Structure 1
Amino acid sequence: MKSNYFLHYLKVVVFLCFVVSCDSPPPKKLKKQNTFVKKKKVHKRIIYTTDTITTENCEEFFTEYGKKNKETKVLLSTRLGDMTIRLYENTPLHRASFIYLTKHNYFDTTCFYRVVPGFIVQGGNSDSDVTTEFRTQLNNYLLPAEFRKNRPHKRGVIAAARDWEYNPEKRSSSFEFYFIQSQRDQSHLNFEHTVFGEIIDGIEVIDKIAAEDIDTDEWPRNNIPMKIKVLN
């Protein structure tokens, strides 16, 4: 009697264990850490450049780069039209840096992210991880200011954005820029931001950008991505 009871009990326990094992979900696979290393592609992360550029060495780097890459014109394309931009030769570091980023397709990952009608339209950044990764690879380098008396803030010029805090040397962001859309005098920006070029064809495009609907953060509600290519 006890033996039969024990066998019956054992069968019940085995059956319950079988049921539980069938209902339990399979163990989840551990995801590999999305680690950034310098290879062509690692877990969908791309190496955009193998050059080592920093705030400390950028002057030397772009002085040499500028000697080999002397182009001064680029074409900026948007859904609202195209602009031809001439980069100034007397702001050589900003010119060379802009050409470098254009040739490495950085700006093609960005958009116009700030619009202040009657003042400026600003671009060269985005909320994309691709843009962030690109800038990280280049150490978010800052350029020395290149102020010039004969390069004032006037309608149609392109100038470098910069941080106003903890930046006594007024170093420029190499990635972010703005166009003056205003017809009014903007001389208060002279010797605060480096002007390094101007629109020579298609200036009406910045007016179209300035007319776009924007949100409370001055970001266009309908994104305005850009493509930039070197002309000559």
Structure 2
Amino acid sequence: MNKLIQGLSICFLLVSTLACGQNKDYLITISTRHGEIKAILFDDTPKHKDNFISLAKAGRFDSTQFHRVIQNFMVQGGDVFTKEELPAEKWPTIPAEILPNRFHRKGMIAAARQGNNINPTRASNGSQFYIVQGRTYEELELTTDFPALQKAVLQYVQLESQRPLKEEYNRLYAEQKLDSLMTLLLSKRDEIAKSLNLTLTKNYTPEQIEAYAKMGGTPHLDREYTVFGEVIAGLDVVEKIAAEPTTREVPNSPVLMQVKVERISKKKITQQYGYRYPEVK
């Protein structure tokens, strides 16, 4: 009987330990001279999450910089391997974890990588990450396949019936009134698609359309880079970094970072920062 009770007690402790572990998460703190950025990393991108946490725990992110900054686009940093003087050809990579439910709305954290021409598998850089700033998009602009539309327009304006459109297109282009030109093309999108029997749209979920309209982001990066985390406090710090004066996208005054991780309860993260974890089904 005593052995049975002891066995049940051990099982209870194991179950309790596992349950406690599942109810905790890593809170990421990125400290800069502009303030702190708080973030969480996603469980459904485990390779990227584990890699980031490992680098942070070892202090390897500390004294790296946000070395590439583009206003209304993103801020990029965490170049551990250059700091450690590791030759570029030896930089480790992480297999892509690109998921349809993870998209580039403002505040998302994603992994930098080399281009498709030399990196067709879209493997991520082993340390560098970027935080999305971006801008807002109207639904018509967001859902338009611009390369396809541009190609279709050049075909459409050759029709004799579209001579006025061709003249207006050429005038706006010659005057470099690109915003007006884009407005013109968007207004003609559905007409051109119907006339030439083409599809000139891209599919976005209602959630994505709402997020890009209200919060903004960089939708053209979707399905191309691994999104593996999210800023839950300190977006104002991201804005300040993005506003740094730069030379060739490098801040004139270095924006150094220190990164720490702490494991705390998900309940506390929700209470303090308002982040809602997805319900387990």
Give, in whole Å, the separation in 2 of the partners of 1:183 and 1:72. Answer: 29
Shift of 1:109: 3.1
- Assess if the C-alpha contact under 8 Å between 1:85 and 1:201 holds in 2: yes
1:146 to 2:97 alignment: yes
Shift of 1:79: 0.2
Separation in 2, partners of 1:223, 1:166: 30
TM-score (norm 1): 0.64
Shift of 1:132: 3.1
What are structure 2's unaligned runs of at least 5 residues? Answer: 1-20, 137-211, 213-217, 264-281
Partner SS for 2:220: helix
In structure 2, what is the equivalent of residue 100 of structure 1? Answer: 54
For residues 171-215 of structure 1, give each alpha carbon's deviation from its aligned partner in whole angstroms, at most 9, with x where no partner exists.
000211111112334222111100000000111101000111111
Question: How many correspondences in the alignment?
Answer: 160
1:172 aligns with 2:203: no
Shift of 1:71: 4.5
Deviations 1:64-103 (A, max 9, x none): xxx9xx8532100000010111000000000000000001
Residue 226 of structure 1: aligned partner: 257
Q: Partner letter of residue 98 of structure 1?
A: F
Aligned-residue CA RMSD (Å): 2.3
Structure with larger RCO (C-alpha < 8 A, sep 6+):
2
Q: Secondary structure at the match of 1:200?
A: strand
The answer to whether the aligner puts 1:195 opposite 2:195 as a matched pair is no
Identical-pair percentage: 41
* Structure (1 or 2) with the larger CA radius of gyration: 1
SS of the aligned residue for 1:183 comes to coil
- CA distance in structure 2 between the partners assigned to 1:151 and 1:225 by the alignment: 28
C-alpha contact 1:91 1:146 (8 A) present in aligned 2: yes
Counterpart code for 1:100: S
The within-5 A match list for 1:108-123 is 108-123=62-77
- Show structure 1 runs of 5+ residues with no match: 1-66
Return the offset for 1:111: 0.5
Deviations for 1:37-64, whole angstroms, at most 9, x for unmatched residues?
A: xxxxxxxxxxxxxxxxxxxxxxxxxxxx
Please tell me whether the aligned partners of residues 72 and 88 of structure 1 are also in contact (alpha carbons under 8 angstroms): no
Counterpart position of 1:56 = none
Deviating 4+ runs (over 4 angstroms) = none
Question: What is the correspondence of 1:16-31 to structure 2 with a 5 Å cutoff?
Answer: none
- Taking the aligned partners of 1:85 and 1:96, their CA distance within structure 2 comes to 14
Letter in 2 for 1:175: S
Q: Does structure 2 conserve the Cα–Cα contact (< 8 Å) formed by 1:71 and 1:230? A: no
Q: 1:206 aligns with which of 234, 238, 241?
A: 238
Check if 1:87 corresponds to 2:41.
yes
State how far apart, in whole Å, the 2-side matches of 1:125 and 1:92 are: 20
Residue in structure 2 matching 1:78, options 23, 32, 38? 32
Stretch deviating more after TM superposition (160-169 or 184-193)? 184-193
Aligned to 2:168: none
- Code of the residue aligned with 1:202 in structure 2: it is G
Aligned mates of 1:147, 1:91 — CA distance in 2: 8
Q: Which has the higher helix share?
A: 2
